Structures are given as C-alpha cells and as structure tokens.
Structure 1
Amino acid sequence: MPQITTLTLFRYGSWRQKFWALAQMGLAPRRLKGTPGMRFLKLLGTGAEGFSTKPDWAVYGVLQVWDREASADTFFTDHPQFQKYMRKAQESFTVYMRPIKSKGHWNGVNPFEETALAVETNSALAVITRATIHKKYLRTFWKSVPDSQRPLQGIRGLIYTKGIGETPYIDMATFSLWTDVEAMKSYAYGTKAHQEVIRKTRELGWYKEELFARFQPYRITGSWKDIPNLNAFGESLNSKGIGS
C-alpha cells in the first residue's frame, strides 16, 4: 500500500495553552508510541519563516509517516492525544502528501519512501528540508541565514513556509508549500543568495546530517489564517488515484 506523510500545525492562543503545547514535546511521544499504521513521528516546535533563531511559541507541529491514508484518518478521528491537541488549539490544518523524492537522513534513517509518481511542472509541491548543524559551525551558519531567505519575500508561487525543528539552533527544518514545481526551482536554483548558501554548505560541511524531500500534496483539512486561500488551494489538488 502507498505510504503517505502528514504534517499538522496547531496554533495556540493563551499562554496556558502555549505552555501545555510546549510540555507535550516531552510528554506526547510515549502517548503516541505504537499508534497503528504510524511508521515515523516527530513533534516539532516552530520559528519564523524558514530557519530561525526566534521561536514561535504559539505554533507547534506533528509530522507523521503512515502505511496508508486510512491509518492517518483513524488517528485523527479517534486518538485521545490528537483530540487534546485539537480542543486546545485556536486553529489547525493538516496536509496529506505523497513523497516524490527524498535524499539524506533524519536521525539515521530516511523515513520517506520515494514513489514513481509522475509530477507535472504545474503541480503543487511541498518541500521539507532538515539539517543537524555541527556545533563548531553554528555561528557561521546563522550569519548566512538572513541573506539566503531574503528572496522568499514576495516570491512567485510560494503559498506558505514555516520553520520547524526539534532542538533550537541545532536541529532545524523548514516546510514550504508551492503552487508549482517551477516556482520552487526558481527560488532554489535561481537566486544568488540561496546558491551561495549551497556552495558554502558543500565547501564547509556545515551539517552533521541533512535531508531534502519533495512531496505531492493531495489533501488539506482545517484552516490557517496565514493562508487565506487554503480551502481553495485544497480543493484544487487532484487526489485521483492517491491515498488508501
């Protein structure tokens, strides 16, 4: 059966809710362990757009890999921990994705199984980049980040981007959602600042571990104030032949 990946983001309002969400980073893993059909789990804090040293105390994420879509749907509907997340959050959304290409490792494994899925250049795309930064390069890396992310401001085709991660400053990741493949490539390969970061990464070996994965998003549920057209975008996704 086809593997799928889901990313859920939750936004919390009061400081009591935010503190509860922060505490779940340590408490929830054992409650979620053994969830039927779940192959991989990461509880994530978030920052500003892209890699960021400034935490967003209001937003937290759950990244999961499933053996099939039906396993994910059962979890979202029935699992007590997920229902707690939903009750306490102001808003949330979940994106369902099929992995297209994945290179690298996350804690020693590559959790995303590539598929032979053909993706047209005008198809929507989701990207996750993740890295563990060598401690000796932390200062150099973070000095380079602002220039590399400046081209994201107002770039064509970028629907949403969010910094996500496990350990502040060291284990960092980004999630981005694009209207089409060419828009993502235009940023990744067509901006001098981003190319410079890629060059430095290869020359200096900033990362102890890294992963780059592309996905085809095919279903979105929920709402998110930072993506006003989220429902319209979700309706436009072609889900034929994908899922359980």
Structure 2
Amino acid sequence: MSKQITTVSIFKRDSLSGKSWQFIAVAEAWVRLRKVAGQQFFKVMGKGLDGFNPTPDWSTYMHVQVWENEKVAQEYFDSSKFHNRLKEKADDYQLIFMRNVKARGQWARKNPFEESTELDDGNPLVFVLTRARIKLTFLKRFWDYVPQSQRDIVENEHVLFKAGVGEWPVTHMATMSLWDSADAINKFAYRNKAHKNAIRQTNALQWYAEELFSRFQPYASTGTMDQLNIESHLKKLVTADLTKG
C-alpha cells in the first residue's frame, strides 16, 4: 500500500533584484535537495510566460518533490531553513500536497510516481503534470505547433490553473494544470479536435525522446496564490453541488 505523496512548492518574486536572487536560489536548490530524508525524487523547475510560451518567466520557480509519506514531507517543510528562507522572501508562495492517481511514461529514465491507496472519492479536483524531453531535430516544428494545440486548454472554463514549466528552457518542457473534475479532462482529451490532432502528431512524428503524463488528487495547500488554493476550490465545488441539488 503506497502512502507516497507529491508536493509542488512555488516561489514568485516580481522585482528585478528578486528575480536575480531567485536565479541563484535555483542552483542552490539542486545542491540542497539532493539528500533530504524521506524524499524519493525531486526536480527544480522554472516557468514560461503565460500561454505556454517557452520564454522563461524569471520571477517564478518551483520544487517538485516526491515523498515516502506525508509525515516526512511535513517534517521537512516545518524544519528546512532553506525552504522557509525561499518562502519568506517570496512575494507569492504556494505549497500543494497531492496523491498520485495514475502515471505513465518516464522522467529521468524512471516513473517516480506510485498510485495512491488513499484517494478521496469526494474530492473531484485533478492536478495534471505532463513533461517531455523534445528531440533537437523537432524543436522548431514542436514549438510552431504549441499555440494551436494548447489554445483550447487556455480558454477552458474547467481549468482553474495552468502553466508551462520546465527543467531547461525549450528542450525539457512540462505543463501543470488544475482541473475541477476528471470528467472535464476526459472531455478535453477525447473529444477536443486540437488535442486529438496533437496526439496524432506526437504518435506520427515521435518528437519526444522521453515523456510522462500523470494525474494527481490535490488535497491540501498553503500560501497566497488563489488559483492554487485547494481548500477554497473544494469549498466552492461542494457549494455548487448543493445548489444544484
């Protein structure tokens, strides 16, 4: 029975000096996060400009961390001087706790996510993480196609949060999105023409050297980013269901 959880920590600083400091903190994170008790996997990632633009948004960085269980994760966040220094200096900050629903593919030659045995049937929220390492020969063709393939997710009313992120600009890319239900994702994935065409293009051209798709159930959060306030979203969804009833 897997008690594994995944966390995403997001740090945002808007000033020029803050962005410079953030950039240095990224290099520091790669060193400090290598040996953390109870941590099974981690990645330090940057964010692109809005609209899944590959141009780096130097204000925002995040840590994706996979933990043996919630207890060891919470112990880290409570005691880590490094994490709390980043948190205190951030203009905006969010920490999200999630359990994996399913994952396929590989990230750094392995699938780090174990399907959780502790999912809550009453929680409809879904956090989607996709990532890919793009073959160099397909870079231009891939990025020329991105605006068309992502247009409908940008405009989708069921998407509560969306961002293009990555370990390295242009070649090692990922997306993060928060949806109000699995049904909304399935409709987008299987009925949306642009998305279905993107899948056909991917299968035909094989432009990824490595890829991973994963769904999570976010269940708790803390911070200042309203778009990623999990408790607030859950409360609104429950209220909407009661109103419909």
Give the C-alpha shift of residue 122 in structure 1.
Answer: 7.2
| Contact 2:119–2:217 (Cα < 8 Å) also in 1 | no
Structure 1 residue runs of 5 or longer lacking an equivalent are 239-244
Give the C-alpha shift of residue 229 in structure 1.
Answer: 6.4
Give the C-alpha shift of residue 236 in structure 1.
Answer: 6.5
Alignment match, 1:232: 232
Alignment match, 2:12: 11
Number of residue pairs matched by the alignment? 237
Alignment match, 1:103: 104
Cα gap change, 1:237 to 1:216, in 2 (>3 Å) = farther
Alignment match, 1:241: none
Alignment match, 1:58: 59
CA distance in 2, matches of 1:50, 1:153: 7
Using the size of structure 2 for normalisation, the TM-score is 0.90
Do structure 1's residue 184 and structure 2's residue 182 form an aligned pair? Answer: no
Give the C-alpha shift of residue 210 in structure 1.
Answer: 0.1
Give the C-alpha shift of residue 237 in structure 1.
Answer: 8.9
Equivalent position SS for 2:148? helix
After the TM superposition, which residues 161-172 of structure 1 pair with which residues of structure 2 at under 5 Å, given as runs? 161-172=162-173
| Contact 2:161–2:228 (Cα < 8 Å) also in 1 | no
What percentage of aligned pairs have identical amino acids? 38
Post-superposition, which runs of at least 4 consecutive aligned residues in structure 1 deviate over 2 A?
A: 48-52, 115-122, 228-231, 234-238
Alignment match, 1:38: 39
CA distance in 2, matches of 1:129, 1:119: 22
| Contact 1:219–1:237 (Cα < 8 Å) also in 2 | no
CA distance in 1, matches of 2:126, 2:179: 5
- AA partner of residue 176 (structure 2): F
| Contact 2:123–2:217 (Cα < 8 Å) also in 1 | no
CA distance in 2, matches of 1:121, 1:173: 28
| Contact 2:133–2:211 (Cα < 8 Å) also in 1 | yes
Spell out, residue by residue over 1:141-179, the C-alpha distance to the aligned partner (whole angstroms, 9 max, x if none): 001100011112331311101111111100000111011
Spell out, residue by residue over 1:183-224, the C-alpha distance to the aligned partner (whole angstroms, 9 max, x if none): 111222221111111101000001000000011111111121
Structure 2 residue runs of 5 or longer lacking an equivalent are 239-245
CA distance in 2, matches of 1:186, 1:119: 22
CA distance in 1, matches of 2:51, 2:118: 27
CA distance in 2, matches of 1:71, 1:221: 17
Using the size of structure 1 for normalisation, the TM-score is 0.90
Cα gap change, 1:43 to 1:229, in 2 (>3 Å) = closer
| Contact 1:223–1:231 (Cα < 8 Å) also in 2 | no
